[in-house]
Structure 1
C-alpha cells in the first residue's frame, strides 16, 4: 500500500513545475493508495482530482477543497458516500465500480448544490429495483445520472413513487448486508480451517 506524501504529489505535479499550492489538477490513479490524506491541506486550488483504481475504502479529508469540480474515485473499495459536504463547487462525482450497497448514503450529496453528474455504475446498489428512481428523486440538482440525462418527466415519476422506492432501497440493503455477513463468516471459517490444517501438518513434520 502507498501513502499520499508531499513527494508523491510533487512528482505528479511536474506540469506545474512541482508547485503544489497552485495546482488545479492532479492524477494519483493506479498508485495502490489506501487512504486520502494531505491533499486538502496542501492543494486547496484543485479543480480536478483523479484517484481512481486505488485501494481507498473511505471518503475523507477532502472538505477544504472548496474549488474542486470533478472527483474521480472509481475502482476503489468505498462502501458509503460521505464527507463531501465541504466540496462547495463539486459538479461531477465518479464512484464507478466500488462496493456501495447503502444507497441511502446519496442523501449526503444534497448539500452539494452544484452537483450535476453522478456515476454509480458497477456498485451493488445498482441491482436494487428502484435504484435509479430513488437517486433521481433524492438529488434534484442532478442533470445526468450514470451517464444518462435525467428528463423532467422521469423526475416527476420518481418523486411520485419515492416512498415505495425508499422502502425498497432499505429492504434491498438489508438483504445485501445479510449476504455479505454470511460470506464473511464463511470466509473466516475457511481461513481458520486452513490455518488449523497447516498447524497440524507443521506439528507432524516437526515430530516425524
Structure 2
C-alpha cells in the first residue's frame, strides 16, 4: 500500500481531519522501507515506525519538536545524519536493528539534552566493549537505558572512565592534593 494512503487511513480511523490536530501517528507494521515525509504535521510529538522494514534512516522531514520516536524492529544500519535535529526527544527506541558504530551513533545523538529513555539492545553496538558506560557518559540525561534504570554508581564509573583527566583534577582539588 502507498505510504500516503497508509497515513490518510490512519488519520481517518482516528477521526482527524486537519494536519494541525496530529500529535501522534502510528505507522507501525506497515511494511515501510523508508521514513515518509511528515513535514506537514507541525505538532507531531509521538511517532511509531516500529516493526517495519526501514533500512536507511532519513528523518529530516520530521518535526524537531518530536518527543517520542519508536524505530525498533527494523533493518536500520546507521542513524548518522538522520536524528541530530530531534533535540526534544525524550524517548528513543532503536532496539533490534543492525546499528553499528557506537561512537558515530552517540555523536548523532549528542544534542538530545532531554533524552530520558533509550534502547539500543539487539544491535551490534550493544556488544561493543564498554557499551553501557559509553552511552551513559555521552547521553547524561538518560534515566533508563535498554529498559534498565541508570544507577548513580554507573554514572560515577562512566565519568571516571571517560573523563580521567577531569576526574584527577577534581580529586586533587577535593582532597587538597597538588598535581605534579
* Both proteins in one fold, TM over 0.5: yes
Between Structure 1 and Structure 2, how many residues are aligned? 161
The equivalences for 1:1-208 within 5 A come to 3-5=2-4, 7-13=5-11, 14-39=13-38, 41-62=39-60, 64-82=62-80, 83-104=82-103, 105-162=105-162
Deviation at 1:163, TM superposition (A): 7.6
1:148-196, Cα deviation, whole Å (9 max, x unpaired): 11122211101222389xxxxxxxxxxxxxxxxxxxxxxxxxxxxxxxx
Instruction: Give, in whole Å, the separation in 1 of the partners of 2:6 and 2:97.
Output: 24
Cα pair distance change 1:64/1:75, threshold 3 Å? closer
The unaligned stretches of length 5 or more in structure 2 are 165-180
Q: Which residue of 2 aligns with 1:186?
A: none
13-22 vs 152-161, which moves further: 13-22
Deviation at 1:79, TM superposition (A): 1.3
TM-score with structure 1 setting the length? 0.71
SS of match in other structure, 1:79: coil
Deviation at 1:3, TM superposition (A): 4.7
1:51-79, Cα deviation, whole Å (9 max, x unpaired): 00111112213454132111000011111
Q: Is the 8 A contact 2:16 2:22 kept in 1?
A: no
SS of match in other structure, 1:26: strand
TM-score with structure 2 setting the length? 0.81
Deviation at 1:47, TM superposition (A): 1.0
SS of match in other structure, 1:154: helix
Instruction: Give, in whole Å, the separation in 1 of the partners of 2:100 and 2:64.
Output: 28
Instruction: Give, in whole Å, the separation in 2 of the partners of 1:79 and 1:61.
Output: 14
The unaligned stretches of length 5 or more in structure 1 are 165-208
Instruction: Give, in whole Å, the separation in 2 of the partners of 1:86 and 1:112.
Output: 9
Cα pair distance change 1:127/1:163, threshold 3 Å? farther
Instruction: Give, in whole Å, the separation in 2 of the partners of 1:63 and 1:142.
Output: 25
Over aligned residue pairs, what C-alpha RMSD do you find?
1.9
